[in-house]
Amino acid sequence: MTFQTLEHPADGAPMTLIAAGSFLMGLPATDFLAEEHEKPAREVNLAAFWLDIFPVTNARYGLFINAGGYQRSEWWSEQGWHWRSQAKAEFPLQWQQAGWDGADQPVAGVSWYEAEAYARWCGRRLPTSAEWEKAARGTDFRRYPWGNEWPSPDRANFAMLVGRTTPVGLYRPGVSPYGSFDMAGNVNNWTADWYWPGFGQWCVDHNALANPVLDDLLRLRLGGEEILEKVDRGGGYATPREMQEVLGCTRQVHWPPATRESWNGFRTAMDA
């Protein structure tokens, strides 16, 4: 398959075009492996957008640091700048640590706030959860980026088989339908969405299928519960075999936006 690609001028990121149109998001309610947030399967229509082919690497993130990324508040949200100031953060958790510091390794130990600031610095944004899922699975309702076969060591870096991140783009048999690498394994991918387990059913009940993203007003009270965590996608190098569904296209994990674990990474998107 031929992909339409570009190299973004801000940081040299190679990006692939995800065509406009609908796809099936989630899993059928009858799927015994599906969690509440994955149900039901529903048609979602998205405008065209560009997505990073690889997770953001140390080399690319270093450009943000060198541009004063941790000193200039204009690239941060108000909440993000407050977190950065309180945490006294100057770089990601795994930054320049031996074994994690390769230029082509994905930046690791990044909070959602840091990912958001980087995206704003380079003129892009974090993908919505729906955009990430379409880019990962395409339009044929596959379970994993490569198809419906179980995860294997040639398709993804997971289950501590390596024990840390690997350079991006090594797992060619695991490439997504739109040509993005490491959509499963290596590092998780932060998305723009707030996490609410009942959101899929809410979309169906309210005919809200075109843009399934929780905005700041909606997230405050849904189903009588506060929405406080961000959606993270794709699993990472430490995702165990017994949790391999986390590597799938539909599974969401979720963390408070200040979370900085060694498997927290990201990629960016922009409107086409």
Q: For 166-206, what is each residue's pLDDT tens digit?
A: 999 999 999 999 999 999 999 999 999 988 888 888 778 77
Q: Before 177, cis peptide (omega within 30)? A: no
Pairwise CA distance, residues 17 & 36, whole Å: 30
Q: Among 24-33, 185-194, 214-223, whose mean pLDDT is lowest?
A: 214-223
Is a pLDDT exceeding 80 seen at residue 32? yes
For 126-136, write each residue's pLDDT tens digit: 999 999 999 99
Residue of 224 and 247 predicted with greater confidence: 247
Alpha carbons 217 and 225: distance in angstroms, whole number = 13
Nearest C-alpha neighbor of 198 from the set 52, 6, 37: 37
- H-type helices in 125-210, by residue range? 129-137, 199-205
Segment 65-85, tens digit of pLDDT: 999 999 999 999 999 999 999
Domains present along the chain, CATH in parentheses: 5-271 (3.90.1580.10)
**Confidence grade of residue 210 (pLDDT, cut at 50, 70, 90):** very low
Q: pTM of the entire structure?
A: 0.94
Q: How does strand 269-271 pair with strand 49-52?
A: antiparallel
Q: Hey, what amino acid is at 56?
A: V
Query: In which element (H, E) is residue 189 found?
Result: strand 188-194
pLDDT (average), residues 26-34:
93
Distance from C-alpha of 163 to C-alpha of 95, rounded to nearest angstrom? 17
